[in-house]
Amino acid sequence: MSNLDTHELYLNRELAQLAFNTRVLAQAEEASVPVLERLKFLCIVSSNLDEFFEIRVAGLKEQIKYNSTVTGPDGLTPRLAFKAIAQQVHALVARQYALLNEGILPELAQQDIRFLRRTQWNAVQSQWVKEYFFREVMPVLTPIGLDPAHPFPRVLNKSLNFAVELEGKDAFGRNSGTAIVQAPRVLPRVIRLPAAVAGCEYGFVFLSSVLHAHVGELFTGMNVKGCYQFRLTRNSDLFVDEEEVKNLREALQGELSHRHFGNAVRLEVADNCSPEMAVFLLSQFDLAPEDLYQVHGLVNLVRLMQVPLWVDRPDLKYPSFVPGLPMVLHKHEDMFSAVRAQDILLHHPFQSFAPVIEFIQQAARDPQVLSIKQTVYRTGADSEIMEALIEAARSGKEVTVVVELLARFDEEANINWAQRLEEAGAHVVYGVVGYKTHAKMMLVVRREEEGLRRYLHLGTGNYHPSTAKLYTDFGLFTTHPEICTDAANVFMQLTGLGKAGKLAHLWQAPFTMLSNVLAAIGGEIAHAKAGQPARIIAKMNALVDEKTIHALYEASQAGVKIDLIIRGVCALKPGIPGVSEHIRVRSLVGRFLEHTRIYYFHNGGAEDIYLSSADWMHRNLYRRIEVAFPVLDPRLKKRVIKEGLEPYLKDNCQTREMLASGEYIPLRPRRGKPYCAQTKLLFDLAKPIK
């Protein structure tokens, strides 16, 4: 390989994840992005950081708690990794709030979209806020003065709270000096004022401002010295002992409530919080100074995500569009005749997700359909697809649904769907103990004149209509006999207890996917060593698996040209002389979340294309049920290359290229020729709304 120390060849996963959030923040900083979309990108950073602390930082803290010195491929111990993370997150958060206060909010104000601070309220606004407080807020508040009979209350994960410094005695002569006010989740965090009161069409106040202005009403006869909003982030990783549990659904239902009260990992406070109060709060949650984040504004920017939905200003948002449809769907009355005619490839969100919903709805109503099998990872609390499965089960069809109960943060919705499906008579299984079922498959068996025929849908994204409008993904409809048989065998594994059989076309994790990926990389190495063209292109969310990275380094050393389009975490270092000089890594962050996984291997001109829901990560390759499926139709294979790869290799507007140091630099148009992949795909596949 190389005389470099092995650790020098890998980037830390957590730091790489922070680098991704820096790229998201850069979109919020981009002046060419409409201002309400910039606000959304800013909120996405906060949402991402929440999960980062709840899962990744929480895990590191657990390792530190038990004095673990185990290092990752990058050579960092948990303590060293945490120290580097804390430093970078503090800088990222400071940059985020500076952008909000100095850039986005002033620009919104210029467009008459105003967030009115307490110091800005006129008499009319102050009176409206006062009436709102007494009518809507005060009746549901429970202030807790701290004393031996009233210990520090349990604080829900990510909830809004206020620490109040008081002086004087209460009605019983007590003098604690400190009280906690918890804001119930039923209260909106952002409140819209009537236009006549606000003085503009869109005027908002924050709940924190409303409570700050009138907190004294909660402590009659006492003097409020200070009132400080704070928010606690807790470890939210659920623990279920899968070896001991007898009913996974019941065990998970019992565990969900504990998520709100896991170990504390981060404390956010307003920047006006006194040093004494900050120290007091840290001590209550057993946190250190580096766990404290003092912010200039709301302690939860995610709450601003709703604002673009409330503001009807199309000129301040991305242009609307109507997703397109493949021509074959215009030529046939129903989905079954269309899929029988040819394989159908859908490229979301540029092409509509409606055919997927229509397919399952037609299957539910069609008397010739005998059975439906589907995997469900994320689908949302309101899903037409799940309702169709329930309808099919009630009509007497054989319906089998593999529901992944451990889909992080969607556990409750999936538990509810599992219960409703079972009540309707469907067979519901929860996958395989110890492995998450992440593959996206829908298999329908239909009786036709020639006999039974299987119809199959495979996808790179979830069966979730809402995210299908925001995430880029491919979906394939096919009746290919061998691929359908492969899918049927995977379902048999998930519902039965038999051993994994050999699949003709699908690569399946945790059995054959990694070995097939490594073999395909090895094939390109052999072609390069033989002096033949050799090329690998991979597009996915993340690349961290050491075996795969090692194989890619070997391929680069053999002369294989490698392009990696990795949206998020990439632990591989490109451009290292003698190791990875033939590897380029780029990341595109734009209007849509890049979610498609594409594996391309030149293979002597055969151009093998596989689509999948699997990243090249440990969890996907070793601890999940995943499939990668080939695109065999030459016409559709060209489409995947033309739509899924080439535009992203040409993009010079929203793409950043990775350096060996882990830093990402933006690509800029040469000679004034900008090329935006997502805009090009919208132009080619969708229709704008004028």
* Distance in angstroms (rounded) separating the CA atoms of residues 522 and 500: 24
SS (H, E, C) 84-134: HHHHHHHHHHHHHHHHHHHHHHHHHHHCCEEECCHHHCCHHHHHHHHHHHH
When pLDDT is averaged across residues 182-196 and rounded to a whole number, the result is: 95
Question: Among 7-16, 240-249, 469-478, whose mean pLDDT is lowest?
Answer: 240-249
Q: Is 143 helix (H, G, I), strand (E, B) or coil?
A: coil
- Give the list of residues 6+ apart from residue 472 with CB closer than 8 angstroms, or none: 347, 348, 349, 350, 592, 593, 594, 595, 596, 678
Give the closest residue to 537 by CA, choosing from 586, 589, 476, 572.
586
pLDDT (0 to 100) of residue 688:
83
Q: Domain 508-688 classified CATH 3.40.30.10?
A: no
* 292-295/264-270 β-pairing: parallel
Give pLDDT tens digits for 70-126: 888 899 999 999 999 999 999 999 999 999 999 999 999 999 999 999 999 999 999
Give 135 or 382, the one with higher predicted confidence. 135
- Residue 387: is its pLDDT beyond 60? yes
Structure tokens at 124: 């009319």
Question: Among 34-38, 374-378, 639-643, 681-685, whose mean pLDDT is lowest?
Answer: 374-378
pLDDT (0 to 100) of residue 422:
92
Domain boundaries, the chain: 6-316, 321-491, 508-688
Banded pLDDT at 408 (limits 50, 70, 90): low
Banded pLDDT at 633 (limits 50, 70, 90): very high
pLDDT (0 to 100) of residue 258:
54
- Residue 569: is its pLDDT beyond 80? yes
* Distance in angstroms (rounded) separating the CA atoms of residues 143 and 256: 27
Give pLDDT tens digits for 156-166: 999 999 999 99
- Residue 2: is its pLDDT beyond 70? no
* Distance in angstroms (rounded) separating the CA atoms of residues 286 and 157: 15
Question: Among 18-32, 132-146, 411-425, 617-631, whose mean pLDDT is lowest?
Answer: 411-425
Query: Which CATH fold would you assign to the domain 321-491?
Result: Endonuclease; Chain A (3.30.870)
Q: Is 630 helix (H, G, I), strand (E, B) or coil?
A: strand
pLDDT (0 to 100) of residue 244:
45
Q: In which element (H, E) is residue 624 found?
A: strand 624-630
CATH class for domain 6-316?
Answer: alpha beta
- Using a pLDDT cut of 90, give the percent of the chain over it: 81
When pLDDT is averaged across residues 143-147 and rounded to a whole number, the result is: 86
Residue 402: Cβ-neighbour burial (10 angstroms; 0-12, 13-18, 19+): buried
Q: Give the CA-trace dihedral at 293, 298, 302, 306, to 10 degrees.
A: -170
pLDDT (0 to 100) of residue 325:
95
* Distance in angstroms (rounded) separating the CA atoms of residues 435 and 223: 56
Q: What average pLDDT is seen over the chain?
A: 92
Q: Give the CA-trace dihedral at 524, 529, 532, 538, to 10 degrees.
A: 20
The whole-model pTM stands at 0.93
* Distance in angstroms (rounded) separating the CA atoms of residues 679 and 656: 17
Question: Among 93-102, 197-206, 327-336, 345-354, whose mean pLDDT is lowest?
Answer: 327-336
Sign of CA dihedral 628, 630, 631, 637: positive
Residue pair 494/432 in contact by the 8 Å Cβ criterion? yes
| Same-fold call for 321-491 versus 508-688 | yes
Residue pair 232/285 in contact by the 8 Å Cβ criterion? yes
- Residue 652: is its pLDDT beyond 50? yes
When pLDDT is averaged across residues 231-260 and rounded to a whole number, the result is: 59
When pLDDT is averaged across residues 342-349 and rounded to a whole number, the result is: 98
Q: In which element (H, E) is residue 223 found?
A: strand 223-234
* Distance in angstroms (rounded) separating the CA atoms of residues 156 and 153: 9
Banded pLDDT at 241 (limits 50, 70, 90): very low
Q: How many helices (H) and strands (E) does the chain have?
A: 23, 29
Structure tokens at 387: 């309702």
- Residue 406: is its pLDDT beyond 90? no
- Helical H segments across 146-304, by residue range: 195-198, 207-214, 248-256, 275-284
Active site residues: 438
* Distance in angstroms (rounded) separating the CA atoms of residues 291 and 297: 18
Give 686 or 672, the one with higher predicted confidence. 686
